[in-house]
A and B are shown apart, each in its own frame.
Chain A
């Protein structure tokens, strides 16, 4: 009896293995564009990820069911679990890069810094463009050296500059920055260190004092750091933490009596999940974001009507509708969709390949009128990409937590990208030299 049971289990496992290697039963569809979703629903960052995937999937569903696809080209998607790691991210990428049942991949979103770094060279070899919104290599802004990397909208450099510009606005002008103290409390990792270069440059330019205070990973205990903040008495604190270290920072700041409305969180410290655990201490906290929270944008009305109210949403918790992470999913998906649309204008209304997707991204021009048409006015900044500029926007809004939701304080605060460009070009030139890459001539790309 036991033996036969064991045998049948073994048989079932074998059959499973065999069936999994067979090609899928769905036949290749000629007019479909594959949209790979490298997601993380388990692991340490799952709680931030889940609303993002819901935003993406809801928008793709909306495009398919309400707009009939992108100019008639339907989107198909499949998920692959990355656990926010590089190796699973590579596995997913390799699984997806050749498309799904004949539907090709036009753009790929690695959704995770480790995977984005690991895939940079592979994607360039396979001619598949990577979109990394708010993370990834800053120097990839220089598209002549990184043709297939798109750190769109807001790199860490622009983020630093936008913060300084916002502070100048609050202080009453750039001349008032002289002698002010801006402390950066940062997660001591590659991500946290990225803003040191641009802040040093801006401090020199405007004459403010630049303090850098590291928090070791994971940042569960920050008394030492905030004691240091209290001693230095900075005018502003730029908070570049991530994950658990953000609510801990807000609570510890309150304990040491540093005013919370003088702390500006960065893009990865700007979600509902970052402030909710801090409770009352978070009331008044400022944060910088390229995709503000809120469910009152035009696209939300449409998605609510056609997807949410029809019970077709991927969202488990309806309260997350309009949260910062949900909106980031919408913006991410919209950029990909608009890039494919741009590519279709040149290559025809058909599914695009990766190289055609790159062309579409490099000729992407989402202006105010277009944002209005797709319902993203106010939620997304105008975005214009080109061969030498893979970032485009470079602006963020500042939002304030009122204890229950985010309130927008400003319109788009533009970064001073001209000042920082030489830093980026020096880094990309160093990368090109290290790798032996000859930069492409962007004038020939028009």
Chain B
């Protein structure tokens, strides 16, 4: 008896490993306070319309794709197709269901996109990698074609474009830049919070198990096919909401051409540059892709404007932007977010070195 008890671990009065007590994320809260409180007061139309709204929507789209590609390991180049579904579905709901409030229409658009994503996710049961990528490419072209071919989707408008019939929540008109910014920000914050919790939950862990090795995941009893399809659906929900916001909160009017293959690549680049399998990476990547060209443009305009041929100047900016992408990817193939994490760790130990 005494021998046995000897080999048993000693009873602890307190647990040996204390779970880290969750500290309040002060920085994040401060950022949110600024975004909700200060920015609408300070930002002018240019900042809201041309910089912040597209940045937020692209971040959300990146987040959607990251759930599928970064967390579940299913590469997709059909992101813009699902955005189009969200946009056209939200438009259809607002137009054809009288009295439907905007948040429900957005959610409905997202759900319809999720359904379409689920259907296009079915081939992932059988095919993987590059082959799956090609089926998502097919989804992209098919969806773009559908929204050009059938006038019912754009209410028989002669130009094939859709525009937001009404933007109001609980009687508040959201047509002003501030209104559209707050709408976008609220959606992005809410969905990001859901995503953070989702990837920490069992669903998220199953996704990551599938990404790391799907055979092993199947062996430990994860229903691989089901979780892959779920990833397609959830990712498409996010992309659908992002598409609706892109069409109505940002552009104001959209057509199938607003969601072409270039948009899909743009979103894929956002997650590659920002960081695969990271939530914050989407925001960093979106900032890089959407804000850096603007910065380059202003710099070029102020430094060289008037002295250099305008066409050459534009091409020069493209070259610099491309070089910067390559340089960052060589420096840190895992994305900008890893670069920032390293920087933070270094700063925390400063002036000591690693």
A interface residues, Cβ below 8 angstroms from B: 16-17, 19-21, 24, 39, 41-42, 46, 50, 53, 78-79, 81, 86-87, 90-91, 94-95, 97-98, 114, 117-122, 125, 137-139, 188-190, 193-194, 197, 316, 427, 430-431, 434-436
Whether the Cβ atoms of A436 and B251 lie closer than 8 Å is no
Residue pair A94, B165 in contact (C-beta under 8 Å): no
CB of B45 within 8 Å of the partner chain: yes
Instruction: Assess A193 versus B158: contact at CB under 8 Å? Given A41-B310, A118-B251.
Output: yes
Most buried by B among A53, A98, A121: A121
Which B residues form the contact surface with A (CB < 8 A)?
A: 45-46, 49-51, 54, 95, 148-149, 155, 157-161, 163, 165-166, 175, 250-255, 257-258, 294-295, 297-299, 301-303, 305, 309-311, 314-315, 318
- Determine whether the beta carbon of A435 is less than 8 Å from that of B159: no
Residues of chain A within 8 A (CB-CB) of B161 are 117, 190
The reply to whether B49 and A94 contact each other, CB–CB distance below 8 Å, is: yes
Q: Taking the nearest CB of chain A, how far is it from the CB of B184, in angstroms?
A: 14
A193 to chain B, nearest CB (A): 6
In the complex, A86→B166 CA distance in Å? Answer: 21
Distance, CA A17 to CA B315, complexed state (A) = 19
Which of B158, B166, B298, B299 touches A436 (beta carbons < 8 Å)? B166
Of A79, A431, A435, which one neighbours B310 at CB under 8 angstroms? A79
With A16-B299, A435-B165 already in contact, the answer to whether A91 and B294 are too (CB < 8 A) is: yes
10 smallest beta-carbon distances between A and B, as pairs: A190-B160, A20-B298, A41-B311, A94-B50, A16-B299, A91-B50, A94-B46, A117-B253, A118-B251, A42-B314
- In the complex, which residues of chain A have a beta carbon less than 8 angstroms from the beta carbon of B155? 430, 434
- On whether A197 and B158 interact (CB within 8 A), knowing A39-B310, A81-B297, A114-B258, the answer reads yes
A91 to B251, CA, bound (A): 10
Across-interface contacts of B251 in A (CB, < 8 A)? 86-87, 90, 118
Residues in A with CB closer than 8 Å to B297 are: 81
Contacting pair A190 B295 (CB below 8 A) = no
Chain A residue nearest in CB terms to B247: A118
CA distance A79 to B250 in the complex (A): 23
**A117:B158 contact, CB within 8 angstroms:** no
Contact B295 A17 (CB under 8 A): yes
- Cα separation A50 to B310 with both chains bound (whole Å): 10
B175 with A125: CB separation less than 8 A:
yes
Kindly list chain B residues whose C-beta atoms are within 8 Å of the C-beta of A188.
148-149
Complex Cα spacing A427 to B50, Å? 30
Task: Specify the main secondary structure of chain B where it touches its partner.
Answer: helix
State in angstroms the CA–CA spacing of A435 and B253 once bound together: 12
Residues of the B chain whose Cβ atoms lie less than 8 Å from the Cβ of A137: 158-159
Instruction: Check A189/B160 contact, CB under 8 A, given A42-B318, A94-B46.
Output: yes
Which of B49, B298, B315 touches A122 (beta carbons < 8 Å)?
Answer: B49
Other 14 A-B pairs with CB < 8 A, given A78-B301, A81-B297: A16-B295, A41-B315, A87-B250, A87-B251, A94-B45, A95-B46, A117-B161, A119-B252, A120-B253, A139-B158, A189-B257, A194-B158, A430-B155, A434-B155
Query: Which chain A residue shows the least CB distance to B155?
Result: A434
The CA-CA distance from A188 to B257 in the complex, in Å, is: 12
Complex interface: chain A residues within 8 A of B314 (CB):
41-42, 81
Q: Is the beta-carbon distance between A193 and B295 smaller than 8 angstroms?
A: no
Cβ A193 vs Cβ B163 within 8 A: no
Nearest A residue (CB) for B302 = A20
Distance between Cα atoms of A91 and B50 in the complex (Å): 5
**Given the complex of chains A and B, what is the CA–CA distance between A108 and B119 in angstroms?**
44
Name the A residues within 8 Å of B163 (CB-CB): 117, 120-121, 434-435
CA–CA, A431 and B258, complex, Å: 20
Bound-state Cα–Cα, A434 to B161, Å: 13
B45-A97 in contact (CB<8A): yes
Interface centre among B49, B163, B175, B251 (most CB of A within 10 A): B251
| B-chain residues with CB within 8 Å of residue A95 when the two chains form the complex | 46, 50
* A122 and B164 alpha carbons, distance in the complex (Å): 12
**B50 x A194 contact (CB < 8 A):** no
Q: Which residues of B contact A427 (CB under 8 A)?
A: 157-158
- Please determine whether B253 and A118 come into contact, CB atoms closer than 8 angstroms: yes
- In the bound complex, what is the Cα–Cα distance between A81 and B294 (angstroms)? 10
Q: For A39, what are the chain B residues with a Cβ–Cβ distance below 8 Å?
A: 310
Between A and B, 5 residue pairs with Cβ closer than 8 Å are A41-B314, A91-B294, A97-B45, A119-B252, A316-B309
